[in-house]
Structure 1
Amino acid sequence: MSTSIQSHIVTLLSKKEVAQHVFELRFSKPEGFEYTAGQFVQFLIPNGEKITPRSYSISSIPTDEYLEFCIKLHEGGLASEYIRAMNVGSSLSCKGPLGRFVIDVNSHDHYFVATGVGIAPIMGMIRSLIEEKNTDLPVRLLFGVREEEDVFWIDRLEELKQKHSLFDYTITLSQPKPTGGWQGLKGRVTDHILHHLGKHKFYLCGNAGMVKDVRALIIEHGVDAEDIHFEIF
């Protein structure tokens, strides 16, 4: 993989809302664009006479013919409003790939913990392990969101379970609606992470509070800090 940071022009191929305010976007992949699952790019957002960079993790894998991103759009946000207004066929400048939040390939099992759109790079990493590297080791995902309307990519996770018998995932809702019909786990990811501690490589991605809390908790219960990789959104 090239170590230089290149500038590219990408074209929007599709845009789909997969959960409330969460969009799955696929862009054309520039010729020669080489990356490792888990990395990110900087979109260069026009801002008057200036250009404002915004970083977004790639959720696709290198063998895909497109670049995919999972982005939560915030009302009034510069990048959010720009992306919201983009139509299929629109072009955007970006730089990348960037980042070191990538799979540490070794003999350990892999345990992924994501909240919200923190699942973006983790989806790429899990897919890469299963579809590209053909791992024969257990792969586990703990995915936390606030409520049922925030859950997405269930179909992908189920498809990955069919492809790899040792892949398992759990979804937990931190604030499920009392009138909802959620039958799965409830609570924060910290309420469930200790159920499956072992000799894993841990990959954490989400908001700063979650990453800090999970990291502190599993270190307290014997996990080596060197076995924890994380990225904060």
Structure 2
Amino acid sequence: MAGSASIRLEIARRRVEFACRCLLRRPALEDARLYDLVGHLNSGAPSRKHRNDYAQLLEVATPADDLRIIRTSKPANLRYRAGQSAKLELSGVRRRYSFASIPNDEWLEFFVELRPGGKFSEQLRDAKPGVELRVDGVKGKLSLQEGARYHLMVATVTGLSPLLSLLRDHWTSETSTEQRFIVLQGASYRNEFGYAPVLAELAHKHSGELLYLPTVSRPDAEENRGWDGATGRVEQWVDPVIDSLELRPTNTAIYACGQPDMVQAVKARYEAGGFVVRTEPYD
């Protein structure tokens, strides 16, 4: 068993080295068919706004039992920047979530992990389009580091949201740049990569500028049968990417969002190495 795990790890490492070389030299990225493209939301026109800080639930996608991608109308008075978060309220229960959408969108979008027994989670679990929720308390300072050519983004599951918002917002004003984006996303199971379709589309549209590497931490689980991508915890892939691309603190910013232990580990290790590491705390 240990031997086969080592072989899988070596194969995955060689794949990321190849993908990194492609990112540097030519606009060829891994085939999007390698990724499990689940949880895709169809575009839809937002409904009429209600009260100034209330939104209406428009669509709900369920990439996994404990995950929801929700799209709501945009309250009339809401203003936010890519990378920020807001408080969502259902029946008096409030929780903070990062925007996966961008300010130019006519709707709001959030990637939510449901907590068993959670007061907010259990309301959202069976929520249907038409439900009203309050959206306010916008805050956050996460943004792309000025002057960085490489942006190495490290996320676990729903921690991808603010990073996806930053990516999409970047390309609303920049059609082609010298900047390069590497997105590493970790999850226990393959169906937790709810935004794989969006990232695959971005990688195709901005070929050569974006590398997306999802990795599962439980490769032997039945839910991951057939997975032939990267394996292991997402923070274990930061060093191979840095080495393959020859990234340096002078040209690279690192971003870490998601599971607190991962965020702290990445921040401590790479700040000590001289890198700027940007994170987004939550209250």
TM-score by length of 1: 0.87
More strand by share: 1
Mapped to 2, the partners of 1:70 and 1:138 lie a distance apart of 24
Mapped pair 1:223 → 2:274: yes
1:167 match: 210
For residues 221 and 119 of structure 2, what CA distance do their matches in structure 1 show?
Answer: 34
Equivalent residue in structure 2 for 1:124, among 165, 171, 184: 165
Q: Pairwise mapping of residues 37-76 of structure 1 onto structure 2 (< 5 A)?
A: 37-46=82-91, 51-76=92-117
Q: How is 1:140-159 mapped onto 2 (pairs within 5 angstroms)?
A: 140-159=182-201
By how many angstroms is 1:100 displaced?
1.3
Tell me the secondary structure at the aligned position of residue 44 of structure 1: strand
Local SS of the residue matching 1:100: coil
User: How much has 1:130 moved relative to structure 2?
Assistant: 2.3
1:208 maps to 260
| CA apart distance, 1:87 | 1.7
Residue deviations 1:14-47 (CA, integer Å, cap 9, x gap): 111023311110010122422111111101232x
- Report how far residue 105 of structure 1 moved: 3.5
Aligned length: 220
SS across alignment from 2:215: strand
Contact between 2:78 and 2:136, CA under 8 Å: does it hold in 1?
no
SS at match of 2:93: strand
Corresponding position of 2:239: 194
- Matched-pair contact (CA < 8 Å) for 2:151–2:182: yes
Matches within 5 A, 1:1-80: 8-46=53-91, 51-80=92-121
Structure with greater Cα Rg = 2
**Structure 2 vs 1, CA of residues 76 and 163 (structure 1 numbering), >3 Å: closer, same or farther?**
same
Identity %: 30
Letter in 2 for 1:175: R
**Cα pair 1:147 1:177 within 8 Å, conserved:** no
CA distance in 2, matches of 1:149, 1:121: 20
Aligned partner of 2:26 in structure 1 is: none
Unaligned segments of structure 2, at least 5 residues: 1-51
Alignment partners' CA distance in 1, 2:143 and 2:217? 27
Letter paired with 2:191: E
**Which fold has the larger relative contact order, with Cα–Cα distance below 8 Å and residues 6 or more apart in sequence?**
2
Deviations 1:98-145 (A, max 9, x none): 111222343432111100110111111111122344351111100100
The 1-side partners of 2:280 and 2:176 are apart by 23
Task: Show the counterpart of 1:183.
Answer: 228
The whole-number CA distance in structure 2 between the counterparts of 1:24 and 1:132 is: 25
Q: Give the aligned CA root-mean-square deviation in angstroms.
A: 1.8
CA contact (8 A) 2:63 2:191 kept: no
SS at match of 1:192: helix
**1:94 Cα deviation from its structure 2 partner:** 2.2
Change (3 A) 1:53 1:125: same
| Structure 1, gaps ≥5 residues long | 1-6
Which of the two has greater helix per residue? 2
TM-score by structure 2 length? Answer: 0.72
Give the conservation status (yes or no) of the 8 Å contact 2:215–2:232. yes
